Amino acid sequence: MDPDTETEVDLGFSDSANPLWSLYGRISKEYDTANLNDLTSGMDGLLVFVRSLSSTLSLL
Amino acid sequence: MDGMHPKAGLFSAVLTAFIIDRSQSIQPTPAAQSAFYQQQSVALLNQISQQLSSLGAQIPVPSNSSLPDFILSPSTSDVRVNIIWIISLVSSLTAALLATLIRQWARDHMRIFQYYRHPLKVARLRQYLYEGSSRRGYMRAIAEAVPGLVHISLFLFLAGLADFLLNTYTTVGTSTLFATVLCAMLYIIITVTPSVNPQSSYRTPFSPLVWYITRNLWRKSSAGGFRFTPLRLGFDIAEGQMRIAMRFGVARHLRDARAIGWLVNSLTFNVEDAGSLALAIIGTFDTRWCANAWVRERIDRNKELYRDIRRLFETCSNRRLFKDEDEWRVRARACTEAMALFVFSMGADISLIRHPGKVLSDIASSGGTREVSEIKSNQSFAIRWTCLSLVIIRKLLNSSELQSYAHTTLQQLSAFHPEDGLDPTETALRTARSIDEQFAAAWNHVERLRQALNTSEEKDLTRGRITKILRQNEPDLTPIQEQVESMERLGMDASLSELQQRINEETHGLIQKLPGVAFDDVTGTTTVGQTLDLVAGPVQPQLIYLSRLLRRLFGINQEWRNQGLQEMVRTLRSIEAIPSSLSQSHLMERQLWRLQDLSNGAFGFTLELYFLSIRQLLSTLPSPPSEIHETVFDRALWDITSDWQEFNSIGTRQIILDLVCDIAFRDRGIFSNVGYPGYITMTLLDLLRRMIAGQGGAFVEDAKREIRREDLTVFDPQFLSKARDILGQPHE
């Protein structure tokens, strides 16, 4: 079926399953935040390095 | 925008350094300027010389002679590099400018809420501005374009650098070009990745554009041509991904199941997490698919999860661990439901739970299991608690101490009228049938008395007239009186009461909290009306103190002396009629089989409790019950009856035969007139078939006669037909 024209027929779970998905949201947010913090902290360090390197190169 | 602003500034600074250097290539050099001035000096001197010569010879000087112009001729590469880098610088600075503007716009927008106190003003202004820009996504589009400008600037810079180096030193330039192309290719791949694989999180600021274009093309080709079809997925990749993620199908189901699996495996299982999970689990079992998701992801095999939920359930026995009653109640009910789901939907081992009867009984004490209104308010909890309790009761009642008590009570019936040559069971059966006959006779007496009083006119009901009616029946009461006195002498009620008490102790009072189960009370006074309600009502107790009831019926002749004539007349007249089925209710005989069953593990007794409780639960549920509730009912029945081979006593078989006959015929007994679901009745018939296989004797023949009775009204013809087929089968 064309995903663009497909309508949301059924959520698959009733409202009573919301606590489970809330828990999933909380746990996955903690997990993803920890992971992404690791990644982005590395990227920030890289930007500092690139800045200093670029400045040095441009002076040369 | 916070990060974009300094990045654009940093990049601009780096770029500027290069531009300063390369801009000199398109500026005049000192050597060129010196040559130009020398050339101009020569031209001027030449012109002066010509003018001086012209003064003597009168030679006219050409008036159109002019000085040479300064011609700057940088190489094409220099011009190109400078153009590219200056555009790059403009892009970068524009990004920084836009970043500044966006921050200012955001600040200005938020000032709405600071400057104005009147909520209506705030609301109207906010809505006015929201409809003008925010809702249409202009600010978001601009914000997303800023990183794109920085990226464009970077690639222009790299292109200019490669161009410059190629014309300066080919080898260095080629290397730079190679690295730049690689970088550009990586960027292009990242840009198109979301369009190729919507699950990808990698993207660039140009990905939405590619997403939009590819989606548009895909739609056209999938429609069989290039007919225009309006797009429903815009530039927003996240929205498109949401639509795809929510699309109904097997893939989504599997993803949901994996999400649950991931969640379970990610929890660290402290008490708080386990409590949250227990609360969360129960809501996911509303449909069979959701329940299957747990099995599909093999979460049912996660022994640690079951262990932690089980421990959490066990902590509910100690209320001091909880902050208050509400916290305990919420946690205890959630744990009960979670445990029931593990046991009934995932086949967890219920025997691992420590002190389950006490915990379940405590939980039921806080309500929600017996009253119809409470059951209706939380049906899922009531069903799960009841079914879990029934399975626990089945195990608790199988105790040697209780069997001993039941056996002692049973022996009383055997010792009632001991006869040589008969085994204790047959002697007890004769006694039970004798009591049932006296019980039926007592009801007949009450009925005759009631009819006599009802057919008489009010004015004719004098004391003398009533006394005469009572005395007419007195000869029939003599055997009843003898029966009652014998039963009282042997202390049958006391023995039964003690057994009931032992049952309550063994089960921590759990049976008394089951829905739809009634109990007799050995203490307290009862009227004839109350006695009738007890034995002829929709729910009869499994253990009835018959000598007390029999004395009540027999003693009605003396009652008027104690309560007064008018009171007795009013009581009897309030009864519409004594049901004829009472004379064939065989209360004592059925009680005998229950005692026999209790002395052999209480298999049939628990099965009766199951059918009583299910009847009550079914009356509160929509018809038919949801699929997941059916699963719990079905699985609980299986758990209760799975070990039938160890408990195939005569009492158990008779209980099941009576159960089958009750369901088949209207008004026959305690389980009559209830439309039990097919999956339950079929399991019962299957159980009957297996239990009577190889069994014979008078009792089975009695059952066969009972199931073929023609004088009873059939309630469930299909069920009756199958039951007759089973009972008619030749013995294996």
Q: Is B178 within a domain? A: no
Question: Which residues in chain B touch residue A24, judged by CB atoms under 8 angstroms apart?
Answer: 259-260, 263
Is pLDDT of B394 > 80?
Answer: yes
**Is the per-residue pLDDT at B224 higher than 80?**
no
Domain end point (choices B168, B195, B214):
B168
B579 and B446 housed in the same domain: yes
CA-derived radius of gyration, chain A: 22
- Same domain flag for B340 and B459: no
In this structure, are residues B4 and B99 in contact, taking their beta carbons and an 8 Å threshold? yes
Chain B residue numbers touching A5 (CB-CB < 8 A): 232
B214 belongs to a structural domain: no
Start-to-end C-alpha separation, chain B = 84
What pLDDT, in 10s, does the model give residues B626-674?
Answer: 777 888 899 999 999 998 888 888 899 889 989 999 999 888 888 888 8
Q: What is the dihedral of CA A23, A26, A27, A30, to 10 degrees?
A: -170
B430 and B467 inside one domain: yes
| Percentage of chain B lying above the pLDDT 70 cut | 82
State the Cα–Cα distance between residues B356 and B396, nearest whole angstrom.
10
Residue B245 included in any domain: no
ipTM of predicted complex: 0.78
Q: Which amino acid is at B398?
A: N
pLDDT tops 80 at residue B1 = no
DSSP structure string for B568-600:
HHHHHHH-----GGGGG--HHHHHHHHHHHHTT
Helices of type H across B621-672: 627-641, 650-664
Q: Which residues of B touch A20 (CB under 8 A)?
A: 260, 263, 280-281, 283-284
DSSP state of B134: I
In a domain? residue B611: yes
B579 and B623 in a single domain? The answer is no
Q: Which of A8, A10, A17 is closest, CB to CB, to B283?
A: A17
The confidence score (pLDDT) of residue B344 equals 86
Which residues of chain B are at the A interface, by a Cβ-Cβ cutoff of 8 Å?
7, 10, 13-14, 17-18, 215, 219, 222, 231-233, 243-244, 246-248, 252-253, 256, 259-260, 262-263, 266-267, 276-277, 279-284, 286-287, 289-290
In a domain, B497, yes or no: yes
Q: Is B714 helix (H, G, I), strand (E, B) or coil?
A: strand
Q: Are residues B569 and B684 in the same domain?
A: no
Residues B561 and B701 in one domain: no
Q: Which two structure tokens, joined as six digits, stand for B330?
A: 């919420």
- Percentage of chain B with pLDDT > 90? 15
Tell me the pTM. Answer: 0.71
Same structural domain for residues B617 and B574?
no
Residues spanned by the domain of B295: 250-354
Do residues B583 and B620 both lie within one domain? no
Residues of chain B contacting residue A31, judged by C-beta atoms under 8 Å apart? 266
Residue from B244, B247, B268, B628 to probe the interface with A (highest A Cβ count within 10 Å): B247
Q: Does one domain contain both B559 and B432?
A: yes
Q: Report, as an integer, the average pLDDT of B333-341.
A: 87
DSSP label at residue B130: I
| Residue B56 falls inside a structural domain | no
Note the pLDDT of residue B611.
94
User: What pLDDT, in 10s, does the model give residues B80-120?
Assistant: 888 888 888 888 888 888 888 888 888 888 888 888 888 88
Mutate to test the interface with B, among A27, A32, A41, A44 (most CBs of B within 10 A): A27
Is residue B384 situated within a structural domain? no
| Structure confidence at residue B390 (pLDDT) | 95
What span, in angstroms and rounded, lies between the C-alpha atoms of B353 and B346? 15
Q: Report the number of distinct structural domains present in chain B.
A: 4
Least confident of B128-137, B184-193, B372-381: B128-137
**B306 plus B421 within the same structural domain:** no
Of B244, B253, B263, which has the smallest distance from its Cβ to A23's Cβ? B263
* B723/B686 Cα distance (integer angstroms): 9
Q: Which two tokens stand for residue B231?
A: 């797009």
Which of A3, A17, A58 lies at the smallest CB-CB distance from B284? Answer: A17
DSSP state of B540: -
Judge whether A14 is closer than 8 Å to chain B, CB to CB. yes
